[in-house]
Structure 1
Amino acid sequence: MFPIFFVLILVCLPVPGLMSPEEWRMTAQGKFSTLSAEEVASVAEPLVDNGTYPSLVIILEDRNGSALYTFGMANRATGQAPDNRTTFEVGSVSKTFTGLLLADAELRGVINLSLPIQTYVPEGVTVPSWQGREITLSDLATHTSALPNVPDDFYRYQKESDPIETQAESTFRGYEEIPADLVYAWLSNLTLTRSPGDDWEYSNAGTAIAGDIVARVQNRTYSELVNERILTPLGMNSTAAGWNPELLERSAVGYRGYAPDHDEGMIIRYNEFWTPAAGIISDADDMAAYLALQLGFLDVPDGLRKAVNVSHEPRAIRSTEGVELWQSLFWDTFETEDIPQTHLKAGETNRFMADIAFVKDEGIGVVVLSNVAYFSDTHVESDVAIPLIRLMLEKR
């Protein structure tokens, strides 16, 4: 018994040079040193001043620590500025939490990403295949499942008589009204048009199914599993997977940049099934901890640290046009001659957008939150996150 006990003690020891999430929160803030406040403002202020973004909340991190910069208004009507506790919907950044849960579950032997999802779906569901090639969990997590983005039922909420911006927003109602059993019925009746594992096609449905599976096989709801495996170890008490009235009270007002008057968007209550795709809400303090986890700055349980690394591994080609873009477990991954391997994920709901990007080998990263959506090429990823990553790399 002694050798086993000795190994367990070693596993539980703190990692030299790393801080616990609580220690990091207490000591890291304000110690980011790669960019000056003026350099950050040179990127952000013009985009707020010209009205593109009502507000920008920017978290920057390097090996010295973190910094928080806020610009604009969380509420245009009151003029209230955002702060570290203002909450935002992070949209598809939620998918990276789902990818981390998948990696964690596989490392613990709970699931196998290479197995067909037919192994894990509820009894009575028949998953479509293509000439004998079945859909795997890895296919879902790399958007190569050959599943469409969402079931056709999402478009039943659109009315031709509505303005185009209302039609665009109305499909989001599916995320609160279409439950798991209807999606699995749709899946059972779906005919694939190509082989899984080949072509990349974004699928919120695929993500939701992956999140449902990883929770279901552990007899948890998705929100319970996120809390248990990610939020609690990181002390992310201002983050919720799904509906949370308390956090909603601290929320910025979200606006429709795709509408002529940029008015307020409707609040969507993501149900349990769709939350793995886009239903997480968080604030700057918590997203700073999540970014620090990705960069390897935190002393966390060994299993969680290993799961983070597994979730970053490139698995499928997303695009070869221009920069070669790879898909990790819901992370986008690229590398160029002047930019080392970078992981990033953009998110957008009907009224918010977010982005997280980091270069792990260089120990730098950024999170950007904003209270507007555009459904276009206008996004904080290309406008803010990547320019700041480039600026940080220039300082190497």
Structure 2
Amino acid sequence: MSSSSRRRFGLLAAVVTAALVGTAAVSSAAPAAELTRPNNAVQQSLNALVQGPAFPGAIATVRDRQGKSRTYTAGVGDLATGAPVPRASRVRIGSNTKTFTSVVLLQLVGEGKIGLDRPVDTYLPGLVRGDGIDGRKITVRQLLQHTSGIPDYDEIFGTDYLPLQHTYWEPRQMLDEALRKKALFAPGTNWEYSNTNYILAGLIIQKVTGRPVGEEITRRVIERAGLRDTYWPALGDQRILGPHPKGYYKTTPDGPATDVTESEPSMGWAAGQMIATPGDLNKFFSALINGKLLKPAQLQEMLHTVHAPDLDVNGDGEYGLGIAKLALSCGGFAWTHGGDIPGFETRNAVTPDGREAAVAVTALPTTMEDAKRVAKTLDTALCS
């Protein structure tokens, strides 16, 4: 899969995002209401995902309109031992972190502390300067919307992630890497996914609040939404706390699978560092679109989308402020993001009428066909 394909929702779309302030291990609780009968279409789709070498394990949590939830697993959670995927699995959620970051920033907008259409320089004076890049001409909205024209920093990882698996990164290091490149386009004239936008969003949150971005996400979003299996990894903590499958890194479908479960998450920081269960991803996105985390005016701003041609294979993607719109095969749409980070891919969405689904696999796709198979599994979970 190309770098641009992975950037869409991925790791280096700030995959990685998040980070920094620790949280204690969170309890792993089963959903309050379980579906009494499995959806065979979902289980069959998940089983198909783990056939062949692409994905060792997979997990999906699906919730219907009546609020009943069920978790499905397939494959193995550990290639060495053959242990199954834990039903209460936590995984690295990569660029889903961006949606959490956007919520915090929009809460600050609602509090009158940040202006969406104010220049980045208002909050980070003199910081954003480069070839065709000027923080006096880029707005906060354009960061969240990926219309800033600021390049992505992900080329620092090259073609092989493994040499940097345990390397710690400061946010300013990643920003400096991005600012060495030329602007992609003039602000507001185009759309391109860039993790750097959300590194800057995280820095703005810290400047305005005087607190670490991970602490603000924990207090303002995780605790408010009651997410018991979601957390921002503590500084330097490379583990996944609680039950989890192992995540694997591969460069080709048939190549060796390297265990990258323990990895340094700072490369994603506010763009992709967080850890959660599929069930908590469902709960978060539902709380968000149902107005439990943002005031009506800020939620309306978040869900106002622009054309994002590189967001999907058909060239008709739509992206808001840290959230995207996903057309479904059964008609209608869902609100989504998704995340890629070495070891894990998540695809998740919730519909306006109350359906929820989140799918995670324990390796990044290495071909576009494998990426489409994961997307198809999500569509099956929402439409079957």
Q: TM-score, normalised by structure 2?
A: 0.78
**In 2, Cα distance between the equivalents of 1:249 and 1:92?**
21
2:249 alignment partner, one of 253, 256, 281: 256
Q: Hey, what does 1:363 align to over in structure 2?
A: 354
The C-alpha deviation readout for 1:7-49, integer Å capped at 9, x for no partner, is xxxxxxxxxxxxxxxxxx887531488xx52121121112223
Contact 2:151 / 2:194 at 8 angstroms: preserved in 1? Answer: yes
Contact 2:92 / 2:344 at 8 angstroms: preserved in 1? Answer: yes
Percent identity over paired residues? 19
Contact 2:175 / 2:196 at 8 angstroms: preserved in 1? Answer: no
Q: Hey, what does 2:304 align to over in structure 1?
A: 313
Q: Hey, what does 1:16 align to over in structure 2?
A: none
**In 2, Cα distance between the equivalents of 1:261 and 1:337?**
35
**In 1, Cα distance between the equivalents of 2:41 and 2:332?**
21
1:340 alignment partner, one of 306, 311, 332: 332
**In 1, Cα distance between the equivalents of 2:324 and 2:206?**
23
The C-alpha deviation readout for 1:149-205, integer Å capped at 9, x for no partner, is 1166x15xx5xxxxxxxx4314855x9533233345456665425201122222111
How many corresponding residue pairs? Answer: 347
Q: Hey, what does 2:225 align to over in structure 1?
A: 234
2:271 alignment partner, one of 265, 277, 292: 277
Shift of 1:342: 2.4
Relative distance call for 1:138 and 1:295 in structure 2 (3 A) is closer
**In 2, Cα distance between the equivalents of 1:59 and 1:304?**
28
Bigger RCO of structures 1 and 2 (CA < 8 A, at least 6 apart): 2
Segments of structure 2 that go 5 or more residues without pairing to the other structure are 1-28
Task: Please state if 1:384 is matched with 2:382.
Answer: no
**In 2, Cα distance between the equivalents of 1:32 and 1:327?**
36
Q: Hey, what does 2:260 align to over in structure 1?
A: 265
The C-alpha deviation readout for 1:286-316, integer Å capped at 9, x for no partner, is 33422432453x9x46x46775554333145
**In 2, Cα distance between the equivalents of 1:352 and 1:238?**
17
Q: TM-score, normalised by structure 1?
A: 0.76
Contact 2:348 / 2:359 at 8 angstroms: preserved in 1? Answer: yes
**In 2, Cα distance between the equivalents of 1:322 and 1:385?**
17
**In 2, Cα distance between the equivalents of 1:51 and 1:141?**
36
Higher helix share: 1
Q: Hey, what does 1:322 align to over in structure 2?
A: 314
**In 1, Cα distance between the equivalents of 2:345 and 2:184?**
32
Q: Hey, what does 1:161 align to over in structure 2?
A: none
The one-letter amino acid of 1:252's match is P
- RMSD of the alignment, in Å? 3.2
Contact 1:242 / 1:275 at 8 angstroms: preserved in 2? Answer: no
SS of residue paired to 2:339:
strand
Shift of 1:253: 0.9
Segments of structure 1 that go 5 or more residues without pairing to the other structure are 1-24, 159-166, 392-396
The one-letter amino acid of 1:355's match is R
The C-alpha deviation readout for 1:336-393, integer Å capped at 9, x for no partner, is 7952132222211111111111221x321211112111343223642311233333xx
Q: Hey, what does 1:19 align to over in structure 2?
A: none
The one-letter amino acid of 1:81's match is P
Shift of 1:130: 4.9
Contact 1:28 / 1:64 at 8 angstroms: preserved in 2? Answer: no
The one-letter amino acid of 1:119's match is T
Task: Please state if 1:221 is matched with 2:223.
Answer: no
Q: Hey, what does 1:351 align to over in structure 2?
A: 343
Structure showing greater radius of gyration is: 1
